[in-house]
Amino acid sequence: MRTNLNTLAVVRNLGILAHVDAGKTTVTERILYATGTTHRRGEVHDGTTVTDFDPQERDRGITIFAAAVSCAWDGHRINLIDTPGHVDFADEVERSLRVLDGAVAVFDAVAGVEPQSESVWRQADRHGVPRIAFVNKLDRAGADLDAAVASIRERLHPAPLVVQLPIGAEGAFVGVVDLVRMRALVWADGRDTAVEGPVPEELREEAQRRRRLLDEAVAELHPAALEEFVEREALSAETLAAALRELTRSGDGVVVLCGSAYRNRGIEPLLDAVVSYLPSPLDVPAVRGTFDGTEQERAADPAAPFAALAFKVNATPTGRLTYLRVYSGTIEKGDAMWDAGARRTERIGRILRVQADRHVQVDRAVAGDIVAVAGLKSARAGSTLCAPGAPVVLEPPGVAEPVVSVAVEARRSTDAGKLASALARLAEEDPSLVVRTDPETGQTVLSGMGELHLEVAVEKLRLGHGLEANVGRPRVSYRETVGRGVSGLVFRHVKQDGGAGQFAHVVLDVEPLEEGFEFRSAVVGGRVPQEYVRAVEAGCRDALAEGPLGGNPVTGLRVTLTDGSTHVKDSSDTAFRTAGRLGLREALRACAMVLLEPVVEVTVTVPEDAVGGVLGDLAARRGRVSGSVARGGAAVVRATVPLAELFGYATRLRSRTQGRGTFTARPTGHAPAPAVTPVR
Give the distance from CA 600 to its chain's centroid. 17
For residue 242, say whether it is annotated as part of any ligand binding site.
Answer: no
User: Do residues 581 and 536 lie in contact, with contact meaning Cβ atoms separated by under 8 Å?
Assistant: no
For residue 138, say whether it is annotated as part of any ligand binding site.
Answer: yes
User: Do residues 670 and 588 lie in contact, with contact meaning Cβ atoms separated by under 8 Å?
Assistant: no
113: helix, strand or coil: coil
For residue 22, say whether it is annotated as part of any ligand binding site.
Answer: yes
Closest CA to 163 of 254, 49, 278, 74: 254
- Contacts by 458-464 with C-beta closer than 8 Å and gap 24+? 458/406, 458/408, 459/56, 460/56, 460/426, 461/419, 461/422, 461/423, 461/426, 463/55, 463/56, 464/315, 464/422
For residue 136, say whether it is annotated as part of any ligand binding site.
Answer: yes
User: Do residues 369 and 326 lie in contact, with contact meaning Cβ atoms separated by under 8 Å?
Assistant: yes
Q: Which residues make beta-bridge pairs with 519? A: 559
For residue 49, say whether it is annotated as part of any ligand binding site.
Answer: no
Q: Which residues make beta-bridge pairs with 629? A: 636
Task: Tell me how far apart the alpha carbons of residues 579 and 582 are, in angstroms, rounded to a whole number.
Answer: 5
User: Do residues 588 and 548 lie in contact, with contact meaning Cβ atoms separated by under 8 Å?
Assistant: yes
Q: Between the CA of residue 44 and those of 218, 334, 618, what are the distances in Å?
A: 37, 39, 32
For residue 25, say whether it is annotated as part of any ligand binding site.
Answer: yes
Q: Are strands 67-73 and 131-136 parallel, antiparallel or unpaired?
A: unpaired
Closest CA to 98 of 377, 359, 288: 288
Give the distance from CA 258 to its chain's centroid. 24
Give the distance from CA 368 to its chain's centroid. 21
Q: Between the CA of residue 183 and those of 62, 105, 277, what are the distances in Å?
A: 36, 24, 19
φ/ψ of 605, rounded to 5, equals: -110, 120
Write the burial class of residue 185 (CB in 10 Å: 0-12 exposed, 13-18 middle, 19+ buried): buried
Q: 191 — alpha (psi -120 to 50), left (phi > 0) or beta?
A: beta
For residue 84, say whether it is annotated as part of any ligand binding site.
Answer: yes
User: Do residues 391 and 340 lie in contact, with contact meaning Cβ atoms separated by under 8 Å?
Assistant: yes
For residue 452, say whether it is annotated as part of any ligand binding site.
Answer: no
Closest CA to 449 of 93, 53, 97, 121: 93
For residue 493, say whether it is annotated as part of any ligand binding site.
Answer: no
Cβ neighbors of 172 (< 8 A, separation 6 or more) are none
User: Do residues 383 and 341 lie in contact, with contact meaning Cβ atoms separated by under 8 Å?
Assistant: yes
Closest CA to 75 of 370, 284, 355, 275: 275
For residue 224, say whether it is annotated as part of any ligand binding site.
Answer: no
Give the distance from CA 112 to its chain's centroid. 20
For residue 144, say whether it is annotated as part of any ligand binding site.
Answer: no
DSSP, res 327: E
For residue 450, say whether it is annotated as part of any ligand binding site.
Answer: no
In this structure, how many other beta carbons lie within 10 angstroms of the beta carbon of residue 413? 8
Distance between start and end Cα atoms, the chain: 61
Task: Tell me how far apart the alpha carbons of residues 473 and 42 are, in angstroms, rounded to a whole number.
Answer: 37
Closest CA to 506 of 412, 580, 613: 580
Alpha helices in 222-339 (DSSP H): 223-232, 237-250, 267-277
For residue 24, say whether it is annotated as part of any ligand binding site.
Answer: yes
Residue ranges for the known binding site are 18-25, 82-86, 136-139
Residue ranges for the known binding site for GTP are 18-25, 82-86, 136-139
